[in-house]
Structure 1
Amino acid sequence: MKYVPLGRTGLKVSRVCLGTMTWGTQNTQADADVQIEYALANGVNFMDTAEMYSIPPNAESYGKTETIIGDWLSRHSSRRQEFVLATKIAGPGLSYIRKGGPITGESIVSSVEASLKRLKTDYIDLYQLHWPNRSTPHFAKHFPGDISFTDLDRKAQSAQMLDILQGIDKCVKAGKIRHFGLSDDTTWGINEYIRLSDQHGLPRVASIQNEFSLLHAKDWPYLIENCVHEDVAYLPWSALAAGALTGKYLGGARPEGSRWSYAQRNGIFRDTPHVEKAVTAYLEVAKNHGITPAQLALAWCDQVDGVSSTIIGATSLSQLKEDMAAFELVLSEEALKDIMTVFKEYPVPF
């Protein structure tokens, strides 16, 4: 396993981050125990979760994944030092979480306390904002006209961000979180947090996790360039495009128990005719180079300049083994050329 810096935190994390969002709906406690043990035994020292999980989110699934991790930690408390534990506070819009209200400094403090109780740990290594208070060009809102940036009250948003940083600072000083990061944010969001941190002597953003894959690479190159030069770790999530890049949804298939067999909060917006064509082509590339489609997609993501650690999730141990093996691969120049041929034909399939 290879390890990389987590921004300027001084922490080193594995190139593979164990995602956990299926634990509690698609996976049981026993499944999670097996995945944790396998990941740790094979060099993974980075685990990501969120108060909102498990997925798909609803009032019944809220907090289940943190509780599952906490159950494991309650039985293995001496192993807490073996990994960097990351979790997230949900942004606005979910009525059953803080009545759908925005993230505030006050909600940071209370939500950290609640996560610590569920996780059964004294501290969180990386506490992330799951999505911003403002609308951002994520979750299929990245096409021109979907969001009006000129309508945003910049001063009001900046004031909210400062309040959030002050809440984070309280938690850092109390020893309850060590570092903070962003998720589903933009270049402006990163830089405004950095500006406010520098101006007010508050904790600096360490990382950002955004959706990034062969089917959804809008962060390349501008946001990733910004991360590299500002020492902000870039953590892709959904490198398999919610499973689409494995090919299991081709032809409208919905395997029982798979993610797309559940109702989705934002709909299955990744299911488009162009995705069908792109995935079919990527499957052929994988076949020609003797690797699985999942390994092709993950190895490509891992080799993108500027990517720090890729968050992967699996619903079975066999899937986890297959996915982790991808990070031992080095794609040949020929394979990369073949991938780019498909990529250029379908650059924005959803």
Structure 2
Amino acid sequence: MGSLKISPLSLSTGGWYGQCLRHQHAGGPTQRQLPRISVRAVSTPVKQALEYRKLGDSDLLISEITLGTMTWGQQNTEQEAHEQLSYAWDQGINILDTSELYPIPMQATTQGKTEQYIGSWLKTKPRDKVVIATKVAGYSDRHTYLRKEEAVSRVNRKNIREAVEGSLSRFGVDHIDLLQIHWPDRYVALFGEYSYNAEKWRPSVPFVEQLEAFQELIQEGKVRYIGVSNETSYGVMEFLHAAKTHNLPKIVSIQNSYSLLVRCHFEVDLVEVCDSRHGNIGLLAYSPLAGGTLSGKYVNDQILEESKKWRLNMFPGYMARYKKSLVKDAVEAYLQVAKRHNMSLVQLALAFGRDRSFMASNIIGATSMEQLKENIAAYQVPRPLSQEIEEDIEAVFKRFRDPTI
């Protein structure tokens, strides 16, 4: 249980790399001090070079790409999920992100299928080499099927335990490496809502009580580390303060949206809060391609037979913020930047996220193997991006800021 989780690689622990691992396992360098490590995945032939980064204050060494899973069970079959998992594994990706809710869009008939698909695949892999990150639902009075006895899902002791027990059963394992709160128990502006509306305030589960519930599961060996998602600076600071004041588990990660189209929320002040010299909390960025928008495929409004299967067309109203006219203008501008530098828009978008100093790992999901291969291959773009490319990106950013707002 206490062993270091590493990527599925054949590595020697001698030399500088081994010294880093032994030093970090013994309470050595912080994330800021520990250099990023570049190694090659063992595959035939070797296709991908990935970096591995220490996640916050944990001993989890994770690949800079996290495999996203939220379409499995809705748009993808179990066999397709296994194909994606095996391909990602062969490329050196060692962390999987999922949720008790998945697949998305949420519905009672499919809830939990994603974790089941992962569980059947895990039977063929060494458990201590795969980093499992899943999430417990935040406050919800709409999804009444989530809990057996309560109509409202809350981030309290009873709900957290029920969620964890369900996830462990679906995975078929005895512990979760990273358990995240999917969204806060309290009211916050979420999923396209930009401004905080004080009139929507509601009583919420105290931060200390939430951490005490997680502490019990950690002490029982069912959870190793905890993190948050869709969180604000206020929430992160409250969790950090509660952990320090009451000697409770500290959050090690934050999973928020971050991409060329969604930057301000994280860059304005969460970067400072999460910096290794302050909170030391690793960013697991979701929607690095902005729901597929940064592939460029939604620039043309024409709905063809093939495009009917695209996520934003398949589920009307879902992620509608990415279909605004201003978003299309911004995407076209970034597309021109990519062309100017002989890159695809996918390469530009993913390399941009990859190169942020505060990035622990980008969460990449796909509905097809073709998409997955393209997304992972984008990490072969020479690093870091040139100053000229960065300047061109900033020029577009100054024009559009966050166009989804």
TM-score by length of 1: 0.93
Task: Tell whether 2:321 aligns with 1:269.
Answer: yes
Question: Do the aligned residues in 1 keep the contact of 2:228 with 2:254 (CA within 8 Å)?
Answer: yes
CA drift of 1:257 comes to 2.1
Listed one character per residue, the Cα deviations across residues 260-306 of structure 1 (whole Å, up to 9, x for unaligned) are: 12336755122111101000111111112122111111110111221
Listed one character per residue, the Cα deviations across residues 185-237 of structure 1 (whole Å, up to 9, x for unaligned) are: 11111111111111221111010000111111121131022111211111110
Which residue identity lines up with residue 387 of structure 2 in the other structure?
E
Alignment of 1:68-83 (within 5 A): 68-74=117-123, 76=124, 78-83=125-130
Deviates more, 1:166-175 or 1:284-293: 284-293
Question: Do the aligned residues in 1 keep the contact of 2:156 with 2:209 (CA within 8 Å)?
Answer: yes
Q: Which position in structure 2 is the counterpart of 1:336?
A: 390
Q: Which position in structure 2 is the counterpart of 1:180?
A: 226
Task: Tell whether 2:134 aligns with 1:87.
Answer: yes
Runs of 4+ in 1 over 6 A off after TM superposition: none
Partner SS, residue 126 of structure 1: strand
Partner SS, residue 127 of structure 2: helix
Aligned equivalents of 1:208, 1:152: Cα separation in 2? 22
Alignment of 1:194-213 (within 5 A): 194-213=240-259
Considering Cα pairs closer than 8 Å and 6+ residues apart, tell me whether 1 or 2 has the greater RCO.
1
Q: Which position in structure 1 is the counterpart of 2:189?
A: 137
345, 352, 362: which one aligns with 1:293: 345
Task: Tell whether 2:12 aligns with 1:12.
Answer: no
TM-score by length of 2: 0.81
Aligned equivalents of 1:307, 1:224: Cα separation in 2? 10
Task: Tell whether 2:361 aligns with 1:309.
Answer: yes
275, 279, 300: which one aligns with 1:251: 300
Deviates more, 1:28-37 or 1:13-22: 28-37
CA drift of 1:252 comes to 2.5
Question: Do the aligned residues in 1 keep the contact of 2:291 with 2:319 (CA within 8 Å)?
Answer: no
Q: Which position in structure 1 is the counterpart of 2:208?
A: 162
Aligned equivalents of 1:17, 1:60: Cα separation in 2? 27
Task: Tell whether 2:268 aligns with 1:221.
Answer: yes
Q: Which position in structure 2 is the counterpart of 1:318?
A: 370
Deviates more, 1:21-30 or 1:256-265: 256-265
89, 94, 103: which one aligns with 1:54: 103
Aligned equivalents of 1:124, 1:27: Cα separation in 2? 24
Partner SS, residue 2 of structure 1: strand
Which residue identity lines up with residue 90 of structure 1 in the other structure?
A
Aligned equivalents of 2:56, 2:310: Cα separation in 1? 34
Partner SS, residue 323 of structure 1: helix
Aligned equivalents of 1:61, 1:342: Cα separation in 2? 40
Partner SS, residue 133 of structure 1: coil
CA drift of 1:129 comes to 0.4
Aligned equivalents of 2:339, 2:302: Cα separation in 1? 20
Task: Tell whether 2:252 aligns with 1:193.
Answer: no
Task: Tell whether 2:126 aligns with 1:126.
Answer: no
Deviates more, 1:117-126 or 1:321-330: 321-330
Aligned equivalents of 1:138, 1:238: Cα separation in 2? 14
Unaligned 5+ segments in structure 1 are: none
Aligned length: 342
Question: Do the aligned residues in 1 keep the contact of 2:134 with 2:178 (CA within 8 Å)?
Answer: yes
CA drift of 1:135 comes to 2.1
Partner SS, residue 323 of structure 2: coil
CA drift of 1:253 comes to 4.5
Aligned equivalents of 1:265, 1:15: Cα separation in 2? 31
Aligned equivalents of 2:174, 2:360: Cα separation in 1? 26
Question: Do the aligned residues in 1 keep the contact of 2:312 with 2:318 (CA within 8 Å)?
Answer: no
Unaligned 5+ segments in structure 2 are: 1-49
Which residue identity lines up with residue 375 of structure 2 in the other structure?
D
Deviates more, 1:254-263 or 1:22-31: 254-263
Structure 2 CA distance for partners of 1:267 and 1:279, relative to 1, 3 Å: closer
80, 96, 121: which one aligns with 1:31: 80
Question: Do the aligned residues in 1 keep the contact of 2:187 with 2:201 (CA within 8 Å)?
Answer: no
Bigger share in helix: 1
Q: Which position in structure 2 is the counterpart of 1:239?
A: 288
CA drift of 1:101 comes to 2.7
Aligned equivalents of 1:267, 1:212: Cα separation in 2? 14
Partner SS, residue 114 of structure 1: helix
Alignment RMSD (CA, Å): 1.7
